[in-house]
Chain A
Amino acid sequence: MDEQLIFRYEIDGSNFTSAGEASVSVKKKLRQLGFAPEIIRRVSIAMYEGEINMVIHAHGGKAEVVVKNDRIEIILDDHGPGIPNIDLAMQEGFSTAPDNIRSLGFGAGMGLPNMKRYTDTMAIQTELGVGTRITMTVNI
């Protein structure tokens, strides 16, 4: 059986200022576990972008990070509006974030592309009006 560690977080969707706290916590835990800086950076950046997305678009959600023997999995679950067109959402520069988010430094349309860029696999399951689940893996 695979040995594994699981970290679970509730992402508060009402507060943009606190967005990213879970990713910072994951980063610290992975550091304590002694992973290489590059692996830690990839996991935490991908999760950070996901967290920001959940706060901007989906009123928060749940995040789970699973450390396995050969990979780290990041699973982000929300009950937001869903993504109508994944291909479009994956294009760099495409964003549906409101203007006030742009003045906070996000909403450049780089979130999903960055998540893909930093991970080895990324799968998006989404249903309009129901929610979105994003599963990413980073090989160790």
Chain B
Amino acid sequence: MKIKEIVRLLEADVLTCENLLDSDVYSACGSDMMSDVLAFVKDQGVLLTGLLNQQVVRTAEMMDMRCIVFVRNKRPGQEVLSLAEENGIVLLATAERMYEACGRLYTAGLIGGCTKPANTD
């Protein structure tokens, strides 16, 4: 799924890296606990979260995730925006709640990314 399709499905605002909306993503994960995100392999995934600090961007960077969606109309501060811009991570903001946002993406064919534990392949 292209990131611009996520923008459309979630009626999201694009906060950073508008030039990367044509990039493909293959899986997604919804969590406010960053260590849970770090526990599972996700290639070119999307992270949906209600958390707004810089560790969200660093976690995505560590996992090679290309896109973060902030749910419930939350907006990150300037430091978070700059860090994402610097690392080429698309930040989106949607009014949807976590459950609805995940549901919309899943229904549209974006599968979950948390099914394959690390180091088992």
Chain A positions near chain B (C-beta within 8 angstroms): 16-17, 19-20, 23-24, 27, 37, 41-42, 44-45, 48-49, 52, 104-111, 113-114, 117-118
B32: Cβ under 8 A from any A Cβ: yes
B51 / chain A contacts, CB cutoff of 8 Å: 104-105
Interface string of B38-77 (1 = CB under 8 A from A): 1101000000010101111011011110000000000000
CA distance A48 to B61 in the complex (A): 11
B55 near A45: Cβ-Cβ < 8 Å: no
Kindly provide the distance from the CB of A89 to the nearest chain B CB, expressed in whole angstroms. Answer: 14
CA distance A24 to B119 in the complex (A): 21
Number of A-B contacts (CB under 8 A): 74
**28 pairs from A and B in contact (CB 8 Å cutoff):** A16-B55, A17-B79, A19-B55, A20-B55, A24-B58, A24-B61, A37-B64, A41-B41, A41-B62, A42-B118, A45-B62, A48-B58, A48-B59, A49-B35, A49-B38, A104-B51, A105-B32, A105-B33, A105-B34, A105-B56, A108-B33, A110-B33, A110-B35, A110-B36, A110-B39, A113-B39, A117-B117, A117-B119
A108 near B119: Cβ-Cβ < 8 Å: no
Residue on B nearest A92 in the bound complex, by CB:
B39
Partner of B38, one of A104, A107, A109, A110: A110
CA distance A52 to B117 in the complex (A): 21
Kindly provide the distance from the CB of B24 to the nearest chain A CB, expressed in whole angstroms. Answer: 16
Known A48-B62, A105-B49; 11 more pairs at CB < 8 Å: A19-B58, A41-B64, A45-B38, A104-B53, A105-B32, A105-B34, A105-B53, A106-B33, A108-B33, A108-B36, A110-B36
Interface range for B: 20 to 34
A48 / chain B contacts, CB cutoff of 8 Å: 38, 58-59, 62
B49, B51, B119: most-surrounded residue (chain A CB, <10 A):
B119
Kindly provide the distance from the CB of A32 to the nearest chain B CB, expressed in whole angstroms. Answer: 15
B62 / chain A contacts, CB cutoff of 8 Å: 20, 23-24, 27, 41, 44-45, 48
A111 near B35: Cβ-Cβ < 8 Å: yes
